[in-house]
Amino acid sequence: MSSRTRQRMAGPVLVTGASGGLGLETALYLAEQGLPVHATVRDDATRQDVLRAAAERNVGLRVLRLDLTDPASIDQAVRTMVEEAGGIYALVNNGGVGLRGCLEDLSDREVRHLFETNVLGTLAVTRAVLPHMRLAGRGRVVTISSVGGRISSFGVGAYCASKFAQEGLGEALALEVAPFGIRSVLIEPGIIKTTRWTTNRGIAAGALDPGSPYREMFDAAEEVADRIVDRSRTRPVDVAKAVHRAITAEYPRMRYVVGRPASVVIRMRRFLPEPIFERVYFGPFLRRLRQARTGAATPPAAGPQTGSAAPPPADPRTGTRGGGA
């Protein structure tokens, strides 16, 4: 079957978290490929921004409100899309929030909101669309996870935990829905420069407390992350293209890793013995953090880009909506 034929066989797509970052680029790119797209935003105030971006790219799409923490808005968005488009062929689970800070500095409220959005919200939207896919006998559930869903890192433990949870849900879902002709696919981007690094940075209040025992190390790690982001060659459109492949491929893979650095570190984790991986991958970064804590050195530089023998730990703090917000 040709790619053009598979494209024609694909149907309406629902993209969550499309107000900016990866979600917006994915919605626009899919629309450019001729797919009917319903893009969702958490805040109605951003609706015009999405429509303006669509007009600039000369594409049409429908914008709906959907808040991952509001079950009524999820049901309404799905119902509206089914009424307007006649069904849902693909769901792109991109919506989500970030949370940065060492675990001891996180409040219960911050962690609860993170999981209610990234995990329970993703699960709620997925459950809402599955009956329509089962009725049609086909469909794709594509979840934007992160390399942080495979390898955790300093200062983003809770965020990585939410991505690990998405990985587990997506993998189990792949087995549960395959008999109905539905595929579950995970997209795992590396570091990508989006609004997740500016307006949606999501730093925990406790991480900024001067009295935190982790403050110097966290600041150093943030500087490392910023340097890596500035040098990242992976772009939001790379994620959008992976989503398009997941939606249109006759036999999509369960996972698509986006970005060469992310692919390298995942392979390292897979093939190196665990003690060697920990020593090679985490060791240099941990030494730099200890130096930052004691003030014995300037904040750590960014891994191999500055001549280090090994890359710094994977930093999943991306527009991932990771998933994106």
- Report how far apart, in Å, the C-alpha atoms of 223 and of each of 30, 137, 200, 228, 314 are: 34, 48, 17, 9, 14
Q: Residue 195: count other Cβ atoms within 10 Å of its Cβ.
A: 17
φ, ψ (nearest 5 deg) of residue 136: -80, -20
Q: For residue 4, with 0-12 CB atoms within 10 Å meaning exposed, 13-18 middle and 19 or more buried, which class applies? A: exposed
Q: Tell me the one-letter amino acid at 307.
A: G
Is 152 catalytic? The answer is no
d(CA 50, CA 41): 9
Q: Would residue 123 be called left, alpha or beta, if left means φ above 0 and alpha means ψ between -120 and 50 degrees?
A: alpha
89, 145, 162, 256: the catalytic one is 145
Is 89 catalytic? The answer is no
Here the tokens at position 242 are 């992976």
Closest CA to 246 of 258, 259, 236: 258
Contacts of residue 118, Cβ cutoff 8 Å, sequence gap at least 6: 68, 96, 97, 159, 162, 163, 165, 166, 323
- Report how far apart, in Å, the C-alpha atoms of 141 and of each of 17, 22, 48, 220 are: 15, 16, 27, 37
159, 214, 256, 281: the catalytic one is 159
29, 89, 163, 281: the catalytic one is 163
Residues marked as catalytic? 19, 145, 159, 163
